[in-house]
Amino acid sequence: MVFYQRELETLDRKRLSELRDERLRRLLSEINTNQFYQDKFHAAGIEMNSVRSAEDLKRLPFTTKSELVAEQEAHPPYGRLLTYPLTRYVYLHQTSGTTSNPIKCVETREDWEAWMRCWGYVYRGAGVGEEDLVFCAFSFGPYISHWAAMDGGRHVGALCLSGGGMSSEQRLRQIIANRCTVLVCTPTYALHLAEVATSLGLDLRASSVRTTIHAGEPGASVPSVKGRIEREWGATCFDHAGATEVGAWAFDCQAQTGSIHLNELEFVFEVIDPRTGAAVDEGARGELVVTNLGRFGMPVVRYRTGDLVEVIAEPCSCGRTLTRIKGGVLGRADDMLIVRGVNLYPSVIDNLLRAFAAIVEYEVEIRRIGGMDELRLKLEVSDGELFSGVERAVLAEFRSQLNIRVNVEHAPAGSLPRYEFKARRYKRVEG
Ligand SMILES: [Zn+2]
């Protein structure tokens, strides 16, 4: 087993929570001058220095994404979210703005070091180090995860190659020519690259890539998506999770248990009922709330991630004492579908569809009728596959696994969009 900080990652739980509380006090004293949190805590009638532990933290109000967006709209460009004068900041990025206006995030050098530590856990957890050559198959642009992934690779001593500004074919040829051993991208894009490789007659299983690292979507912890990436690339697939406003907050390990570790060395975690905000029982499903411990310049305190998780406390066979989330991020709190009375998340549908080797790409149209969601699946099947056979098998699986009926439609080859970053396969349509 490879570790980034073996001693810290295997600390006993009591010592771990002491360390966490110590770092939390440090954070709160450092951000004492942060106008946004000053006002927020003041409004809640709480003295910042009265918060001494993760338990005390629960008295503070949550911070939401819409609050950060509103703050930056009211006080452009950064809101009153910065702890220090702007001269101290050296990195400027922004969120992808999938669900709201983008949030601008700035970091000091020390904040960037915190990002690098988070990526240190991600890469070392996957066994990546100085022997490796990492290929980052991203567009880069203003997105922090792309730059942090690249710099994080250097941080663990790997040789890193940017795949920015390239077509999929160019990326594949770079990966092969440079004998890259690690691919970093979204799960969707790893599968898309495999599809392009097949069309070009390139054999990825014969390439040097032995490890793939993913985030941005639940895919890499969805068993059939993971299995498919591993088969196509002849590599081991590792998941992790993060967000621009927060950092890379979870990482996978070589024990490959189907669960990923919460990085309790860099964050304080809570799991709440998304409707009531109350803490859920241990092990119950809920929304993850995060406080970062190492990012003082533009911190998040009790930040509602919108990500649904199920925490498992039982120790991992890798030896780490850090808790895990079962199956990675299960979905977004606001993405839940209600199909004929059955509550389900897109990742469940992804898992079912990706188990069919014949399905190349798909899209799901959702119509809400009388409080219920109706699903229409558009499926692209591989050459030489009979659509009616795939359709019959898919309908049977939905019936037997989920007990729901869906509509299935044949999408012509190449007609559905392919994605480089986060896929948007689920579309709500009117009527
Ligand atoms: Zn582990």
> How confident is the model over 246-259, as pLDDT tens digits?
999 999 999 999 99
> How confident is the model over 168-180, as pLDDT tens digits?
999 999 999 999 9
CA 132 to CA 61: how far, in whole Å?
Answer: 43
pLDDT score recorded for residue 337: 85
369, burial (CB in 10 Å: exposed 0-12, middle 13-18, buried 19+)? exposed
Q: Which amino acid is it at 65?
A: K
323 alpha carbon – ligand 1 mean position (Å): 9
188 alpha carbon – ligand 1 mean position (Å): 24
Single out the residue of 362, 355, 350, 383 nearest to residue 198, CA to CA.
383
pLDDT score recorded for residue 173: 98
Single out the residue of 302, 300, 294, 267 nearest to residue 109, CA to CA.
294
Query: What is the third-level CATH fold of 336-429?
Result: GMP Synthetase; Chain A, domain 3 (3.30.300)
Position 97 confidence tier, pLDDT thresholds 50, 70, 90: confident
* % of the chain at pLDDT higher than 70: 99
Q: What interhelical angle do 109-125 and 144-155 show, nearest 10?
A: 70
pLDDT at 159 over 90: yes
pLDDT score recorded for residue 408: 95
Q: Are 217 and 237 in contact (CB under 8 A)?
A: no
The CATH architecture that domain 1-332 belongs to is: 3-Layer(aba) Sandwich (3.40)
Least confident of 175-184, 233-242, 306-315, 368-377: 368-377
Distances (CA, A) of 232 to 193, 204, 359: 10, 7, 14
> How confident is the model over 385-417, as pLDDT tens digits?
899 999 999 999 999 998 899 999 999 999 999
351 alpha carbon – ligand 1 mean position (Å): 23
10 alpha carbon – ligand 1 mean position (Å): 10
pLDDT at 127 over 80: yes
324 alpha carbon – ligand 1 mean position (Å): 8
Position 372 confidence tier, pLDDT thresholds 50, 70, 90: confident
126 alpha carbon – ligand 1 mean position (Å): 10
pLDDT score recorded for residue 118: 98
249 alpha carbon – ligand 1 mean position (Å): 15
pLDDT at 99 over 70: no
Position 296 confidence tier, pLDDT thresholds 50, 70, 90: very high
348 alpha carbon – ligand 1 mean position (Å): 23
Position 306 confidence tier, pLDDT thresholds 50, 70, 90: very high
Q: Strand pairing partners for 331?
A: 308
What would the mean pLDDT of 43-64 be, rounded to a whole number? Answer: 93
> How confident is the model over 30-50, as pLDDT tens digits?
999 999 999 999 999 999 889
Position 101 confidence tier, pLDDT thresholds 50, 70, 90: confident
Q: Where are the domains of the chain?
A: 1-332, 336-429
Single out the residue of 136, 122, 97, 174 nearest to residue 4, CA to CA.
122
Please provide the DSSP assignment of 132-192 as one string.
-EEEE-S--TT-HHHHHHHHHHHHTT-EEEE-TT--HHHHHHHHHHTT--EEES-HHHHHH
pTM: 0.92
pLDDT score recorded for residue 431: 65
Instruction: Identify the sign of the CA torsion 82, 86, 89, 92.
Output: positive
1 alpha carbon – ligand 1 mean position (Å): 9
> How confident is the model over 189-226, as pLDDT tens digits?
999 999 999 999 999 999 999 999 999 888 899 999 99
What size, in residues, is the chain?
431
256 alpha carbon – ligand 1 mean position (Å): 7
Q: What is the mean pLDDT of the chain?
A: 94
Higher pLDDT, 228 or 343: 228
4 alpha carbon – ligand 1 mean position (Å): 12
pLDDT score recorded for residue 305: 95
